[in-house]
């Protein structure tokens, strides 16, 4: 029971802090459901950044927990003085209950099993335990490497971000570790997504909001890949294989934080609200604090901001606050990351023009780093080794046409992006399009130069575990596309 209460306390702290960070209802309207989803995810982002700040200046998790408790108490008092008249929900009663039911089921599926999948155990929960028992990531348990070739290291992927481990450690701080209940806050990613999309689209038509939110909740990959491939078994085995997105991983965390940041940024540009722009920067920095790919997506979002400035309708003030907040809030994690060893997966070194040209020009797949090769199994015949370019391209095409995993998402994305020509006067439309196209291109290039054997990565759920990060921006763009079509019809 204490484990459950500790996890609920963490969720409550995040909600209190997030609500205090948001502008009042009179400035930025939102429904009760939107308020919960945005407040929780924004407060969580703020707590993660606070913890990283404490770590980089030499303080411990306990200090961050104490500050968070004080901040939540002050925020609760502040909220009692502020009007809380919620805006009308854009959803009908049936849609609302359906979204709540799907969210509740995803939460139940998340905590149905203790953490028991490789990545969740060795990449995230391991660090969560280090933070819980040592109070800091700057310890031999994370920084130590056994040999110069990086094999036999104490910890896998030592420079992975600390977002999920912080959430898990905070959720266990007063009760002790529980492989089941530290996942409770992580079970709200998929549940929050439709409401975050609705918040980002609130200024548009109700039809666009409803369809985009429903499409979000109905995207199978938020819960499992290859939906119904094994009947209903996958939905009752969360966290037991790479087919499930729910559980103690970090891909849904990146997806949710990027969606939150995009939604806040869209509302900031529409309302010219600097407070929302700052909050959007907090969320984008938290995206980078969840997984290494989040840092790359941060750069994509910043480049998209710069690229859209060549057209008219440039919200310079909003972009300025957004960029400044992002840079300030991501700095603590970068300071920590600089003190943690990198391994040969370090894509900041791999993603060079030379490597891109090498593999784009038709270089063969790398087989010597395959787990099959390292385990002594027979090597492939060198004359039959395919090119890396063909393997990655085929994988992306497979995903784009895999409706059991994605539903209609990529069809809707293609249509929505195609309408950008008719919506060039809309800054938000341009920005979302560049983020989506830039994100897909980024992941294609990353996998083109990966130092690992690509077929082995494919077996582990790549690239779908990367492309899921873009669900939020795609659904937000879909809402804009639907609104533009409806406006033309009228």
Segment 200-239, tens digit of pLDDT: 999 999 999 999 999 999 999 999 887 766 655 555 555 5
| Tens digits of residue pLDDT in 92-141 | 999 999 999 999 999 999 998 899 888 899 889 999 999 999 999 999 88
Distance CA 314, CA 306 (A): 10
Q: Are 185 and 173 in contact (CB under 8 A)?
A: no
Rounded Cα distance, 461 and 117, in Å: 13
Structure tokens at 104: 């509740």
More confident position, 208 or 362:
208
Report CA torsion sign: 192, 277, 442, 157.
negative
State the pLDDT at residue 490. Answer: 45
Residue 275 has a pLDDT of 95
pLDDT of residue 149: 57
If you write DSSP's letter for every residue of 444-458 in order, what string do you get? HHHHHS-SS-HHHHH
If DSSP codes are grouped into helix, strand and coil, which group holds residue 121? Answer: helix
Confidence of residue 22 (pLDDT cuts 50, 70, 90): very high
Distances (CA, A) of 156 to 109, 119, 153, 247, 472: 27, 9, 7, 19, 29
pLDDT at position 296 is: 94
Residue 456's pLDDT is 82
Q: What is the mean pLDDT of residues 380-403?
A: 86
Tens digit of each residue's pLDDT (9 = 90 or more) over 454-476: 888 888 889 999 999 999 999 99
Enter the pTM of the model.
0.94
Strands (E), 421-488: none
Can you give the pLDDT at residue 243?
65
Query: CA angle at residue 449 from 141 to 126, to 5 degrees?
Result: 20
Q: What is the pLDDT of residue 257?
A: 98
Alpha-carbon distance of 439 to 130, in angstroms, equals: 32
Half-sphere exposure of 421 (CA within 13 A, CB side): 3
Whether 369 has a pLDDT exceeding 70, the answer reads no
The Cα 362–Cα 439 span in angstroms is: 23
Q: What is the distance between the alpha carbons of residues 239 and 111, in angstroms, rounded to a whole number? A: 9
> Helices 251-271 and 32-56, interaxial angle, to 10°?
110
Residue appearing with tokens 């899921």: 468
The CA distance from 62 to 224, in Å, is 35
Mean pLDDT of the chain: 89
- CA triple 424-428-431, angle to 5 deg: 80
What would the pLDDT profile of 39-89 be if each residue is shown by its tens digit? 999 999 999 999 999 999 999 999 999 999 999 999 988 877 776 678 899
- What does the alpha-carbon distance between residue 44 and residue 10 come to, in Å, rounded to a whole number? 9
| pLDDT exceeds cutoff 60 at 242 | no
Tell me, what DSSP letter sits at residue 244? B
Residue-wise pLDDT tens digits, 305-340: 999 888 777 789 999 999 999 999 999 999 999 998
């Amino acid at each position: 029971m204490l484990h459950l209460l500790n996890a609920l306390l963490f969720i409550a702290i995040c909600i209190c802090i997030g609500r205090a960070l948001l502008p009042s209802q009179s400035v930025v309207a939102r429904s009760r459901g939107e308020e919960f989803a945005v407040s929780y995810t924004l407060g969580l982002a703020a707590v993660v950044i606070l913890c990283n700040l404490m770590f980089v200046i030499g303080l411990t998790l306990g200090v961050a927990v104490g500050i968070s408790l004080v901040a939540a108490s002050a925020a609760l008092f502040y909220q009692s003085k502020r009007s809380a008249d919620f805006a009308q929900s854009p959803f009908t009663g049936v849609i609302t209950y359906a979204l709540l039911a799907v969210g509740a089921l995803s939460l139940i599926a998340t905590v149905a099993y203790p953490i028991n999948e490789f990545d969740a155990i060795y990449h995230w929960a391991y660090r969560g335990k280090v933070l819980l028992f040592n109070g800091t990531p700057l310890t031999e348990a994370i920084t130590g490497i056994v040999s110069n070739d990086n094999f036999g290291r104490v910890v896998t992927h030592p420079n992975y971000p600390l977002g999920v481990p912080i959430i898990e450690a905070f959720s266990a701080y007063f009760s002790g570790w529980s492989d089941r209940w530290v996942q409770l806050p992580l079970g709200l990613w998929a549940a929050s997504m439709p409401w975050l999309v609705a918040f980002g689209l609130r200024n548009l038509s109700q039809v666009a909001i409803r369809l985009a939110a429903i499409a979000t909740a109905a995207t199978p990959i938020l819960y499992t890949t290859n939906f119904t491939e094994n009947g209903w078994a996958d939905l009752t085995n969360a966290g037991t294989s790479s087919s499930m997105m729910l559980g103690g991983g970090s891909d849904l965390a990146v997806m949710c934080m990027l969606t939150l940041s995009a939604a806040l940024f869209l509302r900031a540009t529409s309302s010219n609200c600097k407070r929302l722009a700052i909050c959007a920067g907090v969320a984008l920095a938290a995206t980078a604090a969840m997984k290494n790919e989040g840092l790359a997506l941060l750069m994509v979002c910043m480049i998209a901001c710069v690229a859209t400035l060549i057209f008219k309708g440039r919200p310079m003030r909003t972009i300025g606050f957004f960029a400044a907040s992002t840079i300030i809030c991501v700095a603590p994690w970068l300071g920590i990351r600089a003190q943690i060893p990198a391994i040969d997966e370090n894509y900041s070194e791999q993603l060079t023009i030379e490597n891109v040209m090498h593999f784009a020009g038709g270089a063969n797949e790398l087989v010597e780093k395959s787990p099959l090769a390292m385990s002594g199994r027979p090597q492939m015949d060198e004359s039959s080794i395919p090119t890396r370019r063909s393997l990655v391209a085929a994988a992306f095409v497979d995903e784009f046409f895999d409706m059991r995993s994605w539903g209609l998402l990529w069809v809707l994305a293609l249509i929505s992006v195609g309408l950008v020509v008719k919506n060039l006067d809309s800054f938000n439309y341009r920005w979302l399009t560049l983020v989506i196209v830039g994100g897909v291109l980024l992941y294609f290039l990353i996998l083109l130069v990966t130092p690992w054997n690509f077929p082995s990565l494919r077996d582990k759920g790549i690239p779908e575990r990367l492309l899921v990060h873009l669900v939020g921006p795609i659904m937000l763009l879909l809402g804009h596309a639907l609104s533009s079509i409806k406006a033309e019809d009228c």
